[in-house]
Amino acid sequence: MEVVFSLAVGVLAGSGVYLLLRPRTFQVIMGLSLVAYAVNLFIFGMGRLRIGDAPVIDPARGSDPALYTDPVPQALVLTAIVIGFATTALFLVVLLASRGLNGTDHVDGREPDKE
């Protein structure tokens, strides 16, 4: 499972970074989203990968911490998802404003001069 998980994080982060370096604003926002997914998975993984364990204490199972998965990274992921969602929405608005004002979707607001 660890191998699959780290491959998923790596592929997401790699394609995200590639897209981030592309010149079109849409590619940049897709890249940012992919890197954000990779980062969210990574935070989740930092709580150690456990199968079938809940982070919330269940009276039926008792209070032994070994029976539960670490709740802190899951709370962090939640916060990160919310913040990432808001900033992505904001970036979309800026992207559309730039497209509307300049008539191009190049990140510099104008097409590069063709030699």
Partner 1 sequence: MSNWQQHLPVLPVLLPLCAGAILLFPGETRRGLRAAIALGATLLQLLVAIVLLAMTDGHTSTPWNGEIGVYSLGNWAAPFGIVLVVDRLSALMLTLTATLGLAALVYSLARWERGGIHYLPLFQFLLMGLNGAFLTGDLFNLFVFFEVLLAASYGLVLHGSGPVRVKAGLHYIAVNLLASLLFLIAAALIYGITGTLNMAELAQRVAPLAGDERSLFNLGAVLLGIVFLVKAGAWPLNFWLPAAYGAATAPVAGIFAILTKVGVYALLRFAVLLQGPGAPVPFGGDWLFYCGLATIATGTLGVLGAQKLERLAGFLVIVSSGTLLAAFGFTGTTLTGPALFYLVSSVLGSGAFFMLIEMTERNRAAAADLLAISFEAFGLQDKHDSEHPDEMVGVAIPAAMAFLGLAFISCALLLSGLPPLSGFAAKFALLSAALAAPPEAPTLHAGLFVAALLLSGLAGLMSLSRLGVRVFWSAERATPHLQWMEAAPVAGLILLCVALSVGTGPALSFFNATARSLHHGPAYVDAVLPGATP
Shortest Å distance, C-beta 59 to partner 1: 21
Q: Which residues bind partner 1 (CB under 8 A)?
A: 20, 25, 28, 32, 35-36, 39, 42-43, 45-48, 72-73, 76, 79-80, 83, 86-87, 90-91, 94-95, 97-98, 101-102, 107-109
Shortest Å distance, C-beta 98 to partner 1: 5
Q: Is the dihedral of CA 43, 49, 54, 55 positive or negative?
A: negative
- Nearer Cβ to partner 1, position 60 or 69? 69
Contact partners, residue 10, CB within 8 Å, separation at least 6:
38
What CA–CA distances, in Å, run from 24 to 34, 83, 89, 101?
16, 23, 17, 15
Shortest Å distance, C-beta 102 to partner 1: 6
Give the separation between CA 39 and CA 100, rounded to whole angstroms. 31
